């Protein structure tokens, strides 16, 4: 993150200019430079992040080493989910996390330099007048949840499988969930409701009965096995599973 913050914006206008520069860099990575960005996010590498800079440039790099980091950290491990989903869905997921990071950076500066209620509101309104990165990448607003079943054939297939909920009880101590119709009938209706609201912590998709899932014992989030590169066979030998985000959290003094 050598180019992450060449200056410290201290006014609403400076923070907004910083926001727009970082936003432009992130949009460039996810649209015009998408092939280069895709290649840099190799799942075989360590936990990678996407950074946007005020100079409208972007960078894929490891999390900042300094403790605490100079700026809020972007989403960790974006490369791990790259090959576990369709490219456009993966780009949309990175776009959502990038939007969150941009807001956290802007209001980090606001808090650091003591913006009052009026300044915070003005900054938010200026930011809110721009389309989000997600909206730019997907070409439409509010599409993430409502239109999943109609985005593509692969999404349609997933929505069909989502209608068949697993009858596996969702126990947090269970290391892995492999969906089969072998459970007791008395648990089926209860677990349909539970798993119907379960979303993968990596890709954001719903629980489906024909997919292998695993629960992180630290943050207690569920993940598709394919999104975190864990197979059912490998899960049997894991005593305590930690998701990529929890595995890479630094221990702060």
Q: In whole angstroms, what separates CA 127 from the centre of its chain? A: 21
| Alpha carbon distance 118, 11 (integer Å) | 12
- Can you give the pLDDT at residue 155? 45
pLDDT in tens, 51-80: 999 999 999 999 877 667 778 889 999 999
Q: Lowest mean pLDDT of 149-153, 164-168, 205-209, 243-247, name the range.
A: 164-168
Where do we find the tokens 């209706």?
189
Where do we find the tokens 């909206």?
135
| Alpha carbon distance 250, 190 (integer Å) | 38
Give yes or no for residue 122 having a pLDDT over 60.
Answer: yes
| Alpha carbon distance 17, 6 (integer Å) | 13
Average pLDDT over residues 155-163: 43
Instruction: Work out the angle at residue 27's Cα, subtended by the Cα atoms of residues 18 and 141, and round it to the nearest 5 degrees.
Output: 105
DSSP-derived 3-state class of residue 176: strand
End-to-end CA distance of the chain: 22
Statement: the pTM of the whole predicted model exceeds 0.75: no
| Alpha carbon distance 195, 221 (integer Å) | 12
- Can you give the pLDDT at residue 182? 46
Q: Which domains does the chain have, with CATH numbers?
A: 12-147 (no CATH), 198-252 (3.30.40.10)
φ, ψ of residue 222 to 5 degrees: the values are -95, 145
Contact 221, 242 (CB under 8 A): no
| Alpha carbon distance 196, 181 (integer Å) | 16
Q: In whole angstroms, what separates CA 11 from the centre of its chain? A: 30
Where do we find the tokens 């989502």?
162
- Can you give the pLDDT at residue 1? 46
Give yes or no for residue 250 having a pLDDT over 70.
Answer: no
Pick 69 or 101 by higher pLDDT: 101
Is residue 116 left, alpha or beta, with left meaning phi > 0 and alpha meaning psi from -120 to 50? beta
Lookup: tokens for 165: 């909920």
């Amino acid at each position: 993150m050598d180019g992450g913050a060449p200056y410290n914006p201290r006014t609403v206008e400076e923070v907004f200019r910083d926001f727009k520069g970082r936003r432009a860099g992130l949009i460039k990575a996810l649209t015009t430079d998408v092939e280069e960005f895709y290649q840099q996010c190799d799942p075989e590498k360590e936990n990678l992040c996407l950074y946007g800079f005020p100079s409208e440039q972007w960078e894929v790099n490891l999390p900042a080493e300094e403790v605490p980091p100079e700026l809020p950290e972007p989403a960790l491990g974006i490369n791990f989910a790259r090959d576990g989903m369709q490219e456009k869905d993966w780009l949309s997921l990175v776009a959502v996390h990038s939007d969150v990071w941009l807001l956290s950076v802007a209001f980090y500066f606001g808090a650091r330099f003591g913006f009052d209620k009026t300044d915070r509101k003005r900054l938010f309104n200026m930011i809110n007048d721009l389309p989000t990165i997600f909206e730019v990448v997907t070409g439409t607003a509010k599409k993430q949840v409502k239109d999943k079943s109609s985005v593509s054939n692969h999404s349609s297939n997933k929505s069909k499988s989502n209608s068949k909920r697993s009858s596996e009880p969702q126990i947090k101590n269970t290391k892995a969930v492999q969906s089969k119709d072998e459970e007791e009938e008395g648990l089926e209706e209860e677990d349909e409701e539970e798993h119907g609201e379960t979303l993968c912590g990596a890709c954001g998709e719903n629980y489906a009965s024909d997919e292998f899932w695993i629960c992180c014992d630290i943050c207690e989030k569920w993940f598709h096995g394919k999104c975190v590169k864990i197979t059912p066979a490998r899960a049997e030998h894991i005593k305590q599973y930690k998701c990529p985000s929890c595995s890479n959290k630094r221990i702060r003094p």
